[in-house]
Structure formats: C-alpha cells, structure tokens
Amino acid sequence: MPVVLHGCETLLFTLREEHRLRVAENRVPRRIFGPKRDEVTGEWRTLYEYNRELNNLYSSQNIIWAIKARRMRWEGHVALCGRGEVEELEGQRPL
C-alpha cells in the first residue's frame, strides 16, 4: 500500500487507472492466500471469483478511498498555506 500511495496526492487518475488499482489491490491478497480447498467438494479453487470472501480474510482500506482522503488532506494543507494565515506567537510559554 505505501508504494502505491507514494505521491498520489498530486497525480491525476482516470477511471481506467482507478480500475487497474482496484484489480491490483485484489490481486496481491489473492496471491498471498493462494488457492482454497472447497469444504463441500474438496476441490481446490481460487479466490478471484469470491472478492467478498477475500475481503473477509484480508480487510484493508480501499485504495481509491485512501487516495481521495490523502488528496483532500493535501488540498487543505495547500489552501491553508496559500492564504498566509500563519500567525506568530508572542510571549513565553506557560510553565
């Protein structure tokens, strides 16, 4: 997650790139957990068809929501710094 989120505050994503990020987000835990044995039939199956089941095994923050939250935080920071509302404190700190 940190590698994907590095510098995401300033990048523009299209819907196609958002879809690719969601696919990659599901691919990583699927590879980590590997195939799963079906309890009824005893056959091995992959978890790609069962995203809900995969999310139950590994629940993490949605990567698109994380990117949007970081962008909002960054925009707030830029807006605050751009207004020049940095005030200087005078006097001494109370003990």
Extents of the domains making up the chain: 2-82
Report the distance separating Cα 62 and Cα 65, nearest Å. 5
Assign 16 a pLDDT band (cuts: 50, 70, 90). very high
Query: What is the arithmetic mean of pLDDT over 55-72?
Result: 80
CA atoms within 13 A on the CB side of 4: 18
* Helix intervals (H) in 6-62: 15-33, 51-57
Query: What is the arithmetic mean of pLDDT over 68-76?
Result: 87
Structure tokens at 27: 């691919």
Assign 47 a pLDDT band (cuts: 50, 70, 90). low
What does the angle CA 72 – CA 73 – CA 76 come to, to the nearest 5 degrees?
A: 85
pLDDT for residue 46: 67
pLDDT for residue 59: 66
More confident residue, 82 or 13: 13
pLDDT for residue 4: 80
